[in-house]
Structures are given as C-alpha cells and as structure tokens.
Structure 1
Amino acid sequence: MTLATYINDLLYRYDCVIVPDFGGFVTNKIGAKINHFTHTFYPPTKQITFNSHLKHNDGLLANYIASVENISFEKASTAISLSVIKWQNELESKSVEIDSLGSLTLNENRKIVFEPNKEVNYLTASFGLSTVDSSTIKRYKAQAKSLIPIVKKEEKKGIPVFIKYAATAAILLTLGFAGYNGYQQNQHKETLANQQKDLEKKIQSATFIISNPLPTIELNVVKETAKPYHIIAGAFQFPENAEKKINQLKRKGFDAKIIGVNKWGLTQVSFNSFADRDEATNNLYKIQDTLSKDAWLLIKK
C-alpha cells in the first residue's frame, strides 16, 4: 500500500489531510497570476504546505483507505503507522520523496522541511488549464492623416437677381412653417398638462378606508445550518438494529440519527453531527476515550 497515493487523492477534495503521529498536509488557494518579465499566465492553483503540529487522528485518511482497500478501520490505521515509521527512519539519513506531493528533509534543528511539487495542481476548478506564454505586443505610433478635404476658395461671381428673390421667398416660407409647427406643439403640451392636472386631482380626492384591517402575521424562519461532520457509532445490516442503536444513544444524551447507507448497503448511525470540524474532532476524541474506541469521523460535503 502506497500511503502517498491516498493523501494525493484526498487533497483534491479536502483542504487538510492529517497523517497521524506525523503531520498534516494543508492546501492554500492561490489566484491566477502573470509573470511580467516572461509574459507567462498561470491559472489558479492550490499550494501545499506541511504542518508538523497536526498529528491527531481525525479519521479521514484511515476511513478513506478502509473504504478503498475494503479493510477495517483498525487495519487501515495500522498500515498508516507502518508507513510513518518507515518515513521517520529514512529521514534520518536522506530526503523522502512522497510520490507527486514533494520531498521531506530534516534541517539542522531536526525539523521536517517540506518542498512541494509545483507541477501538480490540486484545484479541481482549474482542471485542464495550463500555463500560457504570450508574445510581446509591439505598438507603433503612426502619424494621423487629415481626412478632411481642403476646399479651395473660388473666385466670387455675380449672382442673378431672380435667384436672390427665390432664396428670400424660400427662407420666409420655412420660417412661417416653423412658427406654425411650434404653435401646434405648444398647444399640444398645454392640453397634456391640463389633462395631467385633472388626473392628479381625481387621485388626490379618492380615499380608501379599510375598517377591519387583517392582523399582522409574523413568521419566524429558522435557517438550518449544514452539519457535514458526523461521528459514526456503527453500521448495521438490518435497519431495526440501527433504530435500537439510536434509542440506546439518545438515552445517553446523544443526538443520534441515521445519516444514510454506505456502498456496502449498511445503515450508518451517528453519535452527533457538527457544522464545525474542530468541534467534531474534539467530541470524537472524548467519545473514543470514554465510550467507543471504534468511533470515527465521516465527512459528507
């Protein structure tokens, strides 16, 4: 079993994958960017970092391995522990290449240093997008040429008298028509203004009185918060056994319920469901310490 393969798969769907007793691989989204010197465009991506303080088992990695390999949660946890011991031994003498994730080394202070592989983009929204190199655009300034033709003045010639009288008559007719047209427009505007005033008076004079108004109804709508983090108490072949488990957990104070049927046809029952991942993880540890070591965390997006 190659542990890095399963970590690689989960990083496409989750922002953090914790390897118990070793550390967590965390993704940070980076927007699209451009290199102004090389004229290269880079699509949005997920940058992977390593946090050695994230060592608590949240059940995500083990649960995923168990479902893929069709083995128990305990066997998956054991396989993870063996891979971690192997990595720790190799780090004492050399760097460790983790599949397509990157490489791990120890510095002078014996702290793990992670160098990510930047060739792999874990952001599913950028699937199919690659870097694009653009050629330099050269701009030239061209002299503007005048498109207005130059008209040369012609020598003045004498204008016949009958043309002067015809032009004067045309001007007078035009002015008369314009004046009449303006008079008609003013009359039309005045008529419209009077109609508007009459309409406003009728609207103002109308009074609407409701003697028995209906009472105001207030509706309190409670928005249900999504709770994708479920602490699993067990999976049952027969639904009646699942109902018995729910009643048993409710008597102990848990908000137990059926959260669905897994791919093997087993009905899954949860202790509690949470909207916050940290709250769910803390409650998982308490349940594992006090009630059931087999409890694990299921995340449904």
Structure 2
Amino acid sequence: MILANYINDLLYRYDCVIVPDFGGFVTNRKGASLNEDTHIFYPPTKQITFNSHLKVSDGLLANYIASTEQISFEKASTAISLSVIKWQNEIQSKPLEIGNIGVLTLNEAGQIIFEPTTEVNYLSESFGLSAVTSSIIQRPKEIVKPLIAAVEKEDKKRIPTFIKYAATAAILLATVYAGNNVYQQNEQKEALANQEKALEKKIQAATFVISNPLPTIELNVAKKAIKPYHVVAGAFQFVENAEKKVQQLKKKGYNASILGVNKWGLTEVAFNSFADRNDAINNLYRIQKTVSKDAWLLTKK
C-alpha cells in the first residue's frame, strides 16, 4: 500500500490531511499570479504546507483507505502506522519523497523541512487551466516629434484670399446659428419652468385621506450563519440510529446534528459545527482526548 497516493487523493477535496504520529499536510488557497521576470500567468492553486504538530488522528485518512480497499478501520490504521515507521527511519538518512506532494528533509536541529512540488494543482476549480505566457510589449524609446505644426505654418503662407473670405463667412454663419439655438433653448427652459410651477400648485392643493390604514408589521429575519466545519461523531447505516445518536449527544450538551448522507450511503452525525476552522480543530482535539478518539473533522461547503 502506497500511503502517498491516498493523501494525494484527499488533498483535492480537503484542506487538511493528518497522518497519525507523523504530521499534517495543510492547503491554503492562492490566487492567480504573474511572474514579472518570465511574463507567465499562473492560475489559482492550493499551496501545500506541512505541520509536524498535527499528529492526532482525525480518522479521515483511515476511513478513506478502509472504504477504498474494502478493509476494516483497524487494518487501515495498522497499515498507516507501518508506513509511518518506514518514513521515520528513511528520513533519518536521506530526503523523503511523498509521491507528487513534496519532499521532506531534516535540518541540523532535527526539524522536518517540507518542499512542496509545483507540478500538481490540487485546486479542483482550476482543473484544466495551465500557465500562460504573455508576449512582451515593446515601447518606443524615442519621442516622435509631430510634423503638423510645421506643415500648418507653410500652408498658411500659401492660403489664397478667397479661402480666407470663405472661412470668415462660415464663422459668421456658425455664430448666428449658435445664437438662434441659445434663444430656442431659453424659451424651452422657461416653458418647462412654468409647467413645473403649475404641477406643484396642483399637488399642494390635493389631499390624500386613508380611512382604514393597515397595521405595521415588523419582521425579524435572522441570518443563518454558515458553518462548513463539522466534528464528526460517526456514520450510520440506518437513519434511526443516527437520530438516536443526535439525541444522546444533545443530552450531553453538544449541539449535535445530522449532516446528511455521504457517498457510501452512511448518515453522518456531528458533535458540533463551526464557522471558523481553528475553533473546529480545537474542539476536535478536546473531544478526541475526553470522549472519542475516532472523531474526525469534515469540511462541507
């Protein structure tokens, strides 16, 4: 079993994939960018980082392996542990390559350094988009001086007398036409002003009486907060069992709810749901330490 392949699949759908007793691969969305040196446009992508402190299992990786390989959750967890032991031994002597995800190495202080690969874009929204090279725009360095002024000076010396008279007549006609337009516009404005005054008098003289006014109704519409992060308590084959689990958790003080049916036909139940990812992770750790080690984090948008 190649553990890196399962991590690779989950990174397309989740923001965090934790490898128990080893660390977590966390993704952060990065918008489109431009390399000014190479003039290459890059599409939006998921930037992958590694956090060696995320070692507590959230059940996501083991559940995925169990459902994919049609094995039990315990066997999947054992397979993960064996792979982690192999990784821990290998990284002591040489760089550890995790499939297409990146390379892990140890520095002088014994800390894990992660170098992600840029060949794979884990953002599903950017599927099919590739980098585009833009052509360089060449701008002229020398300022071209206009020749119109020089030509006009030469032409003015050669303008015949009859053209000067024709130009003078055209200016006079344009002046008369403009004066006539101004006069007509003033008359139109005065007529419109008189009409507006008459309309105002009619409006002031009119009265509007409502004998039976309708009562005022105040509606308080509460906006429902979006909570995409869920601490999952379990998945059940029968809806009745899921509903019983919700009632049990509510009696214990949890804001439990049914999240729906996953692609394997199981009804998922959550301890709590959160709008903030950090709040959800903190709640998950507390539940794993005190209530259930099998609880895991689910992101639904």
Tell me the TM-score normalised to structure 2 length.
0.77
Letter in 2 for 1:83: S
What is the SS of the residue equivalent to 1:86?
Answer: helix
Tell me the alpha carbon deviations over residues 98-154 of structure 1, each in whole angstroms, 9 at most, x when there is no partner. 111111111111111112112222233333333333443333354544386926244
Contact 2:94/2:105 (<8 A) preserved: yes
What is the SS of the residue equivalent to 1:150?
Answer: helix
What is the match of residue 220 of structure 2?
220
- RMSD over aligned CA atoms reads 3.5
Query: Where do 1:60-71 residues align within 5 Å?
Result: 60-71=60-71
Q: List alignment gaps of at least 5 residues for structure 2.
A: none
Letter in 2 for 1:215: P
CA distance in 1, matches of 2:97, 2:84: 13
Query: Where do 1:66-105 residues align within 5 Å?
Result: 66-105=66-105
Letter in 2 for 1:89: N
Letter in 1 for 2:201: K
What is the match of residue 260 of structure 1?
260
Q: List alignment gaps of at least 5 residues for structure 1.
A: 160-166
Deviation at 1:155, TM superposition (A): 6.6
Cα 1:275–1:77 change in 2 (3 A) is farther
Tell me the alpha carbon deviations over residues 1-44 of structure 1, each in whole angstroms, 9 at most, x when there is no partner. 21111222222233322222211222333333333333333333
Deviates more, 1:39-48 or 1:217-226: 39-48
Contact 1:58/1:281 (<8 A) preserved: no
Cα 1:188–1:257 change in 2 (3 A) is closer
What is the match of residue 164 of structure 1?
none
CA distance in 2, matches of 1:111, 1:6: 25
Query: Where do 1:1-301 residues align within 5 Å?
Result: 1-140=1-140, 141=142, 142-146=144-148, 150=155, 152-154=158-160, 188-210=188-210, 213-301=213-301
Pair member with larger Rg: 1
What is the SS of the residue equivalent to 2:104?
Answer: strand
Contact 1:16/1:26 (<8 A) preserved: yes
What is the match of residue 162 of structure 1?
none
Deviation at 1:243, TM superposition (A): 3.6
Deviation at 1:288, TM superposition (A): 4.2
Tell me the TM-score normalised to structure 1 length.
0.77
Aligned residue pairs total 287
Letter in 2 for 1:70: Q
What is the SS of the residue equivalent to 1:217?
Answer: coil
Letter in 1 for 2:155: I
CA distance in 1, matches of 2:207, 2:18: 72
Cα 1:300–1:71 change in 2 (3 A) is farther
Cα 1:211–1:180 change in 2 (3 A) is same
Letter in 2 for 1:61: L
Tell me the alpha carbon deviations over residues 24-78 of structure 1, each in whole angstroms, 9 at most, x when there is no partner. 2223333333333333333333322222122222233223323322333333222
Deviation at 1:221, TM superposition (A): 1.3
CA distance in 2, matches of 1:296, 1:188: 77
Contact 1:107/1:113 (<8 A) preserved: yes
Percent identity over paired residues: 70
Cα 1:184–1:28 change in 2 (3 A) is closer
Cα 1:231–1:192 change in 2 (3 A) is closer
Deviation at 1:290, TM superposition (A): 4.5
Letter in 2 for 1:227: K
What is the SS of the residue equivalent to 1:71?
Answer: coil
